Amino acid sequence: MKHLLRLALAADVVALLTLMLGSWTRINGAGLTCPDWPLCHGRLLPALGGGTLWEWSHRLLAFAVAPLVLALIAVAWRQRRSSPFVAPTMVAIAVIFLVQVFLGAETVRLANTPFSVVAHWATAMALIAMLSAMAVFAAASEPDGYPARRAPETSYVMPAALAVTATVAFVTMCIGAYVSSSGAGLACLSIPGCAGNVVVYTHGQFVQMLHRFSAGATLVCAAAALALAWAYAASTRVRAAVLLGVALVATQVLLGLLNVALRLPTDLREAHAVNAAFVFLAFFVAAVFAVLDAVPRLRPDSLAEEATR
């Protein structure tokens, strides 16, 4: 399983870097410097002046994800009996990756419309989440990856709570992507209301306030998850992931306020987008940890016997 773990981590890191560079490219207005796909201005290696450098670098990183994902699927197929989670995660990675390739081409064809950007971002995050889950499952299949199980009467409370928190964070992140790509980032210049009002009228004001309400829901869910992690004596790894998630949510709120106050400087916009991704990943991984703590699993010696069948 060590090969699977290393491939999952490598693919995860490259996919995350691709996401970050893609966000930077779009925020800097370079998302359409290559108007065709998969080539750029009909060439394999275009002139790299201006924003073309960012867009073409983003595509190169995206292409680098492909062999890593293919190698991961091949190794996961051989190791599919080592854990009950490997096979379904492998299938999810394969399907999401194919969808992401299609959406990458469609985003260019649709000239980075807000909905295409949101779909592309959401699918990229889903792929990164599944790669992270595969890394966790591979690590848990090692002999030292089986901590004591939690009490059965509380075992499913944390996975459910953390799944809800991760889902709310994901939705908030997607709404934020729409706000950014639709140019609604400064539709509301006052805080917490919009132009001094809670009821808003324009489309930009509506999505901006929707994003703020969703961010508030994420903050509430994060606080509840933190309380539950201690109330139900969650494992150390779950508590660590939840603590990280709460810290990232607090950072995200600060970044959101600074973006409005400073009128969307490029660096802060990128930090806000990337931190949103890490908020979701922190709670998603925490949920995966909680599932591993709750679900009965075969011991390593039994896994070895099962893998040889």
Q: What range defines the domain where residue 58 resides?
A: 1-142
Which residues are within 8 A (CB) of 141 and not within 5 positions of it... i.e. 6 or more apart?
1, 79, 82, 83, 86, 300, 303
Q: Count the Cβ atoms, other than its own, within 10 Å of residue 44.
A: 8
Burial of 65 (0-12, 13-18, 19+ CB in 10 A): buried
Among the candidates 109, 142, 175, a domain finishes at 142
Average pLDDT for runs of 10 along the chain of length 309: 92 96 89 85 82 89 94 94 91 96 89 92 97 94 53 70 97 95 86 68 87 95 95 90 97 93 92 96 96 67 44
Looking at residue 150, its pLDDT comes to: 45
For residue 48, give the DSSP letter: -
Is the Cβ–Cβ distance between 257 and 230 less than 8 Å? no
Total domain count, the chain: 2
Among the candidates 118, 142, 166, a domain finishes at 142
Tens-place pLDDT, residues 249-280: 999 999 999 998 899 999 999 999 999 999 99
Which tokens sit at 177?
Answer: 């992507």
Residues 90 and 171 in one domain: no
Looking at residue 46, its pLDDT comes to: 83
Tens-place pLDDT, residues 118-151: 999 999 999 999 999 999 999 987 655 444 444 4
How many Å apart are CA 249 and CA 256, to the nearest integer? 10
Residues 38 and 61 in one domain: yes
**CA 26 remoteness from chain centre:** 17
For residue 302, give the DSSP letter: H
Residues 224 and 301 in one domain: yes
For residue 150, give the DSSP letter: P
Residues 132 and 190 in one domain: no
Among the candidates 100, 123, 142, a domain finishes at 142
Residues 227 and 112 in one domain: no
> Whose structure tokens read 């060590």?
2
Is the Cβ–Cβ distance between 8 and 65 less than 8 Å? no
Residues 138 and 165 in one domain: no
